[in-house]
Amino acid sequence: MKILIFGPKARYDLYLPEFVRDLPVELVFSGTHQSTLQAAEENPDAEVIFADAITPVGREIMDKLPQLKLIHSEGVAFNAIDVAAARERGVFVCNNKGCNAMSVAEHTVMLMLMALRRGVTGHAAVKAGEQIQFKERFMVSNSPELGEQTVGIIGLGDIGTATARLLRPFGCQLYYYSAHRRPPETETELGITYLPLKELAARCDILSLHCAVNEETTHMVNETLLSCVKPWAILVNTARGQLTDNQAVRRALMEGTLGGIAIDTFDPEPTPANHPLVDLPPEIADRAVYSPHLGGITGGVFRRAHRNMWSSVRLLLEGQKPKFIVNGL
């Protein structure tokens, strides 16, 4: 079975499960010298595609692969894959549901703390020899503790749930919005209360995004929603950049109707230096904390993800359906 991989060979070598060595598979990596479409054209007998979560896999690639049986996202997200085209062709589309939940939840809490404690600007002040000056300013900033914050989790899937579990020991008051309300026993276990989205936005000090991207959630953080938030509220995004209207968030920061942002995921990626949420005026730049889409990047995440992916290949070889199918086949 030939497997076409849209991703770096070094990563696949590092996280290759031991059992793969016994599978009758041939691995072909799409090189930097060729497009993914060219790689498909040169390997028409490929039966499986492994692709990182942001590499597009459209119908034009599928058309080049008549024997294709499976497209597996290396991540949890699969919005870069044309799932409808795959379904039309009887091709399974799978993701790595839940494999990065704890890693992203940890990263989310880190960003919350960095935003509240001005971690980035404090680091810069120490490097510049201005430790005491920064400390003096910070002591009169009335900076809150995380446990004093009311946190709104938008999207209570695997990652949102893991985030709620990490936040509960801090003492935060927790609310959530999700397209489907969770059972009462789940809400009780997590110590979390459901609110409609606009009411949650108006009540919470921190808004944390954990939604998948779809037609309903694209630009859900827009001018209308931001008009509801407290002027000191912090927006945290470790989900997907497409959830936010960049210009609306920038305006809210500029006008002082949003207190700060802590962002791990951007739209677009790669993120240019003149991105509207990055290229901020000096007077508000210290209200932003960034990380380069690292929330789900740990060794543990990749080991779990690659084990899932190769387990799906093994199931196909055994004539069985893979796990974590997202296109309804």
Evaluate the CA torsion angle 174, 178, 184, 189 in order and state its sign.
negative
pTM to 2 decimal places: 0.89
Measure the CA–CA gap between 149 and 15, rounded to whole angstroms: 39
pLDDT computed for residue 31 by the predictor = 76
Domains contained in the chain, CATH given: 2-99+298-317 (3.40.50.720), 101-290 (3.40.50.720)
Q: Measuring CA to CA, which residue among 266, 150, 164, 248 is closest to residue 207? A: 150
The strands making up 260-263's β-sheet, listed across from edge to edge, are: 192-194, 173-177, 150-154, 206-209, 234-237, 260-263, 288-290
pLDDT computed for residue 152 by the predictor = 98
Measured CA to CA in angstroms, residue 31 lies from 7, 28, 35, 318 at distances of: 8, 9, 8, 30
E-assigned strands of the chain?
A: 2-6, 26-29, 48-51, 70-73, 92-94, 150-154, 173-177, 192-194, 206-209, 234-237, 260-263, 288-290
Burial of 21 (0-12, 13-18, 19+ CB in 10 A): exposed
Measure the CA–CA gap between 241 and 263, rounded to whole angstroms: 8
SS3 9: helix
Q: How far apart are the first and last CA of the chain?
A: 21
Helix axes 119-127, 101-116, angle to 10 degrees: 60
Instruction: Render 154-222 in DSSP notation, one character per residue.
Output: E--SHHHHHHHHHHGGGT-EEEEE-SSPPPHHHHHHHTEEE--HHHHHHH-SEEEE-PPPSTTTTT-BS
Measure the CA–CA gap between 161 and 104, rounded to whole angstroms: 11
pLDDT computed for residue 54 by the predictor = 85
Measure the CA–CA gap between 227 and 313, rounded to whole angstroms: 48
- Residue 121 CA, chain-centre distance (Å), reads 25
**Using one digit for the tens of pLDDT, what is the confidence trace for 146-204?**
999 999 999 999 999 999 999 999 999 999 999 999 999 999 999 999 999 999 999 99
Ramachandran area for residue 328 (φ above 0: left; ψ -120 to 50: alpha; else beta): left
Q: Name, in order, each residue with C-beta under 8 angstroms of 122's C-beta and a sequence gap of 6 or more.
A: 134, 138
pLDDT under 50: residue ranges of the chain: none
**Using one digit for the tens of pLDDT, what is the confidence trace for 268-294?**
999 999 999 999 999 999 999 999 999
The strands making up 48-51's β-sheet, listed across from edge to edge, are: 26-29, 2-6, 48-51, 70-73, 92-94
